[in-house]
Structure 1
Amino acid sequence: MKIILNTYDEFSVLDTVNDGQEALDFCKAHEVDVALLDVRMPNMNGVDATKLICEQTKTKPIILTTFDDDEYILDAVKNGAKGYLLKNNEPERIRDAIKSVFNGNTILQDVVLDKIKSSLSGAKETKSKVDDKLFTERERGIMSLIAKGYSNKEISKQLFISEGTIANYISSILGKTGLAHRTQIAIYYITGKVDH
């Protein structure tokens, strides 16, 4: 990964470390824009390292993972991971994700988003972390359905209101949060954090 990333002019790979604790220590001691973390690491895993890196530094963590680490996805997102990518991606995809996270976006691959949706729909009722005072009950209901992966058409059928009305509610939610699109609404609903 270090060799590949160093072939891109826009990146400087500052260091490679052995575990989550070393990653945290390095990010605290240096100005690091983006940290790529594996989920499975000795001493401190990538999910725990993500939480501490977000709390103690300005570094934006991206989790690189394999399919069988899916139980960690929600925890990593809750802990502040700005990206969650599978290791089998083309190098260009990983490069683009790093640039996007650097520019303030959150990157979740579709397969990762699907895992979040299925874990949400599997839960009886996910307790949302959104601010109850900021949103109407109807808006919270729509956010919950967006987080479960419903389209506007499906939400419309579920709530018996027109797609145009749903679109208006979504515009209102985006306006109140300053978010840009429905994927960010889903992440916000789950984590309570606004990532621009």
Structure 2
Amino acid sequence: MITVVVADDQELVRSGFALILDSQPDIQVVAEVGNGREAVEAVRRHAPEVVLLDIRMPEMDGIAAAEAICRDFSAKVIMLTTFDQDDYIYDALQAGASGFLLKDVRRDDLVHAVRVAAGGEALLAPAVTRRLIDDMVKRNARPGPPPPSLTVLTERERETLTLLGRGLSNAEIAAELVVSEHTVKTHVSNVLTKLGLRDRVQAVITAYESGLLLPGNRP
């Protein structure tokens, strides 16, 4: 059973999402909350596998809540957003979010996203990845911590990171490298472990920040 916390200050949004998710035989919504502080407390109390977080909430916004949850708990965070909130993409992913959903998401896509996140995959559609890269280009002069060194990676692991950066799935990476999906999973795990990355989303960011991929290499 995949346990979920839904956090949104709009009651109709969170109750609608909760209703859809609770109707699934393998998903249970354990809490519905209306702000970021309540979201962090709900995660502490219920230890869910997935958290749906609105970006803009009172008391503590979604970015701050995502950072606290990803730092202290193992829950996967999916940010709820609208097209006019693109500026938040980079900050949310840096905070540890596993991806994004638009608030007008279709029922089937919502359910799929929760299952994908619970399984440890990233929710980075090509359009979102492009906006992320564009945002990184705009911010490239902003001081920040240097990206992890790639010298610890083998040549095949660097190839895997490059393909992760392009947004490819395990099956697509396997086809590119002409190896099995099991082998790809091992390479991905090695990349994340060696570079100290939380998930595939951070691998995408690292691929670009390290210069392994350039902004022109769009998915």
Q: After the TM superposition, which residues 101-180 of structure 1 pair with which residues of structure 2 at under 5 Å, given as runs?
A: 101-124=117-140, 129-135=147-153, 147=165, 177=191
**Unmatched runs of 5 consecutive residues or more in structure 1:** 151-165
Identity %: 29
Letter in 1 for 2:35: D
Contact 1:38–1:63 (CA under 8 A) maintained in structure 2: yes
Kindly state the Cα deviation for residue 113 of structure 1 after the two structures are TM-superposed: 1.0
Q: Which residue of 2 aligns with 1:154?
A: none
Structure 2 counterpart SS, 1:29: helix
Structure 1 counterpart SS, 2:78: strand
Contact 2:66–2:77 (CA under 8 A) maintained in structure 1: yes
Aligned length: 171
Contact 1:130–1:189 (CA under 8 A) maintained in structure 2: no
Contact 2:99–2:201 (CA under 8 A) maintained in structure 1: no
* Separation in 1, partners of 2:71, 2:50: 14
Q: TM-score, normalization: structure 2?
A: 0.64
Alignment equivalent of 1:45, drawn from 61, 66, 69: 61
Contact 2:77–2:97 (CA under 8 A) maintained in structure 1: yes
Change (3 A) 1:174 1:37: closer
Structure 1 counterpart SS, 2:53: strand
More deviation, 45-54/84-93: 84-93
Contact 2:96–2:202 (CA under 8 A) maintained in structure 1: no
Q: TM-score, normalization: structure 1?
A: 0.71
Q: After the TM superposition, which residues 55-94 of structure 1 pair with which residues of structure 2 at under 5 Å, given as runs?
A: 55-94=71-110
Kindly state the Cα deviation for residue 125 of structure 1 after the two structures are TM-superposed: 6.6
Mapped pair 1:6 → 2:22:
yes
Kindly state the Cα deviation for residue 64 of structure 1 after the two structures are TM-superposed: 1.1
The structure with the greater share of residues assigned to strand is 2
Question: Residue deviations 1:76-119, cap 9 Å, x none?
Answer: 10111112121222111111111011011111233211111212
**Unmatched runs of 5 consecutive residues or more in structure 2:** 1-16, 168-175, 179-183, 194-199, 211-219
Structure 2 counterpart SS, 1:43: coil
* Separation in 2, partners of 1:50, 1:191: 21
Change (3 A) 1:124 1:42: closer
Kindly state the Cα deviation for residue 47 of structure 1 after the two structures are TM-superposed: 0.8
Change (3 A) 1:9 1:63: same
Letter in 1 for 2:108: E
* Separation in 2, partners of 1:191, 1:99: 29
